[in-house]
């Protein structure tokens, strides 16, 4: 009940900024529209692999919408700011685990972004490009599982980034470095199979393909659901890493300037 309350409060807080967020949606939709037009132009001269022109447009549309679930989460889950203000000491004293506490609030944020950002942006592309949607209800179920796993992985990654603020006065470079890896290794700019072989190997040894590439491929009907086992494996590994980091964090509480 506590975690649901934390999530619902985070969701309700974002409702106050719906107008501003709609402006963000317009900018995001415009970026994706231009990106899709580039692939439409390339598709006039090239086959674009198994995707084809319409498939690549669908690929871009889905990844652009899914970014708000699997990528655009709170920087470090707010830990760096809590370290700078000293509130981290109070957060660690609460009768609830820091990881689960921050995760619950972030789930509320992600739920809001899914409803007010991901869905509207995808609907714009759906009508603008006459996109196809999966014909099986089971596909939507598997995509939902893949996106939920992607969101959880992103939460864990950002929690670890936030925990690093206890050892460095500036952790934002990790946050932006993570975004760069998402753009490259998660298949946002181009599908992973089009990367050089050595870079594909690096990508598949990381959790990044499960943030965007795997949910998108499942949605488009190109991959089977066996990739969800990889999502589950990385969820377990990053959960253990987050819990371990919390243990170190409790022994390394240092309020900057105090």
Evaluate whether 182 touches 215 at the Cβ level (below 8 Å).
no
For the stretch 160-216, pLDDT in tens is 998 887 777 677 778 888 888 998 899 887 899 988 989 999 999 999 999 999 999
**Residues for the chain: how many in total?**
258
Whole-number Å distance between alpha carbons of 79 and 73:
13
Residues of the chain with pLDDT under 70: 1, 3, 17-21, 43-45, 86, 89-91, 93, 169, 250-258
pLDDT at 233: 96
**pTM for the full model?**
0.89
Characterise 237 by phi-psi region: left (phi > 0), alpha (psi -120 to 50), beta (else).
alpha
In this structure, are residues 234 and 207 in contact, taking their beta carbons and an 8 Å threshold? yes
What was the pLDDT predicted at 18? 66
Query: What's residue 258's pLDDT?
Result: 45
Task: Tell me what pLDDT residue 166 has.
Answer: 75
For residues 226, 232, 233 and 239, what is the CA-based torsion angle, rounded to 10 degrees? 170
Chain centroid to Cα 32, Å, comes to 17
């Amino acid at each position: 009940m506590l975690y649901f309350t934390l999530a619902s409060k985070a969701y309700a807080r974002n409702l106050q900024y719906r107008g501003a967020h709609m402006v963000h949606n317009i900018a995001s939709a415009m970026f994706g529209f231009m990106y899709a037009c580039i692939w439409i132009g390339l598709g006039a001269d090239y086959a674009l692999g198994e995707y084809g022109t319409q498939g690549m447009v669908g690929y871009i549309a889905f990844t652009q919408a899914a970014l708000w679930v699997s990528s655009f989460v709170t920087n470090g889950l707010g830990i760096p700011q809590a370290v700078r203000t000293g509130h981290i000491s109070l957060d660690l004293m609460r009768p609830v685990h820091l990881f689960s506490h921050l995760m619950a609030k972030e789930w509320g944020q992600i739920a809001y972004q899914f409803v007010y950002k991901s869905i509207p942006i995808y609907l714009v592309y759906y009508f603008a490009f006459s996109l196809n949607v999966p014909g099986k209800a089971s596909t939507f179920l598997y995509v939902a599982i893949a996106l939920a796993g992607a969101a959880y992985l992103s939460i864990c990654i950002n929690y670890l980034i936030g925990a690093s603020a206890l050892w460095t006065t500036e952790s934002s470079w990790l946050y932006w470095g993570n975004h760069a890896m998402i753009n490259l290794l998660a298949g946002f700019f181009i599908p992973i199979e089009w990367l050089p072989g050595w870079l594909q190997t690096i990508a598949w040894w990381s959790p990044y393909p499960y943030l965007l590439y795997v949910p998108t491929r499942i949605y488009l009907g190109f991959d089977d659901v066996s990739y969800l086992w990889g999502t589950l494996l990385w969820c377990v590994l990053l959960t253990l890493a987050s819990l371990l980091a919390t243990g170190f964090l409790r022994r390394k509480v240092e309020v900057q300037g105090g």
